[in-house]
Structure 1
């Protein structure tokens, strides 16, 4: 969850029906989980909150990284480096990373501006490739962010190659924007026993 409000976990725990498990150091990323699930924070930084998830729904732990990237290319470089570091540390454990990467991957990911963002796209693509991340595909809204006639796909989810060892299928849906300039993304994962395990 990426809030634009004061940290008030009790209020949102009641609304969501989930337990608050922590926020990153800047307070821009919050983690909530259902009963029977735990999230142990491994990396707590201003652009990513990375942790180990255990749950009664899955036989083995998985890793989840929630991202809220900085707005400029240079400020995002530490995020790309941290992603590479995490990729090496998860060591074959299923890993999902998602959130607001604040940049696009291709020219088709934006309309409403002719600004050249080629170098930013290359930075992002190289980080994804170095981490050996897979894009599970998406449905729903074409763009996840909009402002003043500019539309971009800034929010995404990726999975590691090991993700398929726990989940048979992963479906990512771009949900409609409601009270923010960003639309949330929902990752639904089908396990081998055909139960669904949702990550929003």
Structure 2
């Protein structure tokens, strides 16, 4: 199941329509939110037909005459039901026809100043109080969240980040795991005039994170836009049952291990017998350890291969400039991280061999 959002910065150019169509096909997108289309409502159906007859669409022209948010979906595979739409957000219920994926999805487009974005934060917080199921929020927030989210340009200030941070905290939202390009937007400037920032994001509530633990968001190259498309991928397992829980000894060395165990064991269970209470506490500990493992140890072999490749590239770079202290530091850090994960992998192999 792949859900995407992309600020395309206008869809009136036929070349962009062709690129969008290829993007949707090559990335196997089932649901997409196209932002800032700049298409008049009278021309929207003509452009949507060019994207493909297999798509159905929801738009927010009632609140934004420039067609700021279009949500499209492959109706043969997915059903989408509108919940609410405003100038800033379109909220809908998304479910696959086979019943294996079900969530609330909100596509977001933030305006360009701190003051004009505040109604959007209030709307997200208000909507969060009505949600009691997995909820995914994706789009162009037009706001940075961290001090490191901008390169060049004005330094990130607390005034820029506090509204976003407060909204996520109040609404119970947290960012999804991501890969690919870090900065999702650039002004396309040359040399030191290029400003890059991370203003496109995918965030979700606790129910989403606990249910779709393997979901990841890929920040792809921007192509014909100045924004990167975001692709949330979740592999729907057609086989039966989830993987059994296995405890690996190396987890006991994690700095958060004891805290996770204590938090799980402290779960209250007012009803049931003693054995049921023990079972409930063990289940809570297991869930905490699974989340810890997924966060810091998942796909261990892939991580190691990635670190090997990174270290090789750094050392090639170091060969051409052996006195560069920054590259030397990068080599040291990458090498230490690789060794750490190699020791973890060896510990896992040793434990499996005993079993």
For the aligned pair, the TM-score class normalised by the smaller chain equals 0.7 to 0.9
User: Which of 72, 82, 87 matches 1:46?
Assistant: 87
Q: Does 1:125 align with 2:165?
A: yes
Structure having greater relative contact order (Cα 8 Å, sep ≥ 6): 1
Asked if structure 2 preserves the Cα contact closer than 8 Å seen for 1:138 and 1:174, the reply is yes
Give structure 2 stretches of 5+ with no counterpart: 1-33, 240-355
1:105–1:94: structure 2 CA closer, same or farther, 3 Å change rule?
A: same
Moved over 6 A (4+): none
SS at 2:153 equivalent: coil
Aligned partners of 1:168 and 1:192 also within 8 Å: no
Q: Distance between the aligned counterparts of 2:125 and 2:95, measured in 1?
A: 23
Partner of 1:72: 113
Alpha-carbon offset, residue 14 of structure 1: 4.3
Residue 113 (1) aligns with residue 153 (2):
yes
TM-score w.r.t. length of structure 2: 0.51
Q: What SS is found at the alignment partner of 1:38?
A: strand
TM-score with structure 1 setting the length? 0.87
- Please state how far the C-alpha of 1:36 moved relative to its aligned partner: 3.2
Deviation at 1:59?
4.4
CA apart distance, 1:9: 3.9
For residues 3-152 of structure 1, the aligned pairs below 5 Å read 3-6=36-39, 7=41, 8-15=44-51, 18-24=54-60, 25-26=63-64, 27-34=67-74, 35-59=76-100, 61-91=102-132, 93-147=133-187, 148=189, 149-152=194-197
Structure 2 counterpart SS, 1:182: coil
Q: Counterpart in 1 of 2:223?
A: 178
2:150, 2:156 within 8 Å by CA — same for their partners in 1? no
Match of 1:89, SS state, is coil
RMSD between superposed Cα atoms in Å: 2.0
> Is the CA contact 2:109–2:140 (under 8 Å) kept in the aligned structure 1?
yes
Following superposition, the deviation at residue 193 of structure 1 comes to 4.1
- Asked whether the equivalents of residues 166 and 191 of structure 1 are also in contact (C-alpha less than 8 Å), the reply is no
> Are the equivalent residues in 2 in contact too, given 1:13–1:20 (CA < 8 A)?
no
Superposed displacement of residue 15, structure 1:
2.7
Mapped partners of 1:9, 1:64: distance in 2: 23
Q: Deviations over 1:91-123 (max 9, x none)?
A: 2x1110010000101121110113443212011
1:18 CA drift (Å)? 4.2
Partner SS state of residue 113, structure 1: coil
Moved more, 107-116 or 177-186: 107-116
Structure with more strand by fraction: 1
Using the TM superposition, name which of 116-125 and 176-185 deviates more.
Answer: 116-125
Deviation digits for residues 150-181 of structure 1 (CA, Å, limit 9, x no counterpart): 10001000111111454241100111111111
Residues 123-146 of structure 1 show CA distances to partners (whole Å, capped at 9, x for unaligned) of: 101101111112122111121100
Based on CA coordinates, which of the two structures has the bigger radius of gyration? 2
The answer to which structure has the higher helix fraction is 2
Distance 1:19 1:122, change over 3 A: same
Q: Distance in 2 between matches of 1:117 and 1:9?
A: 42
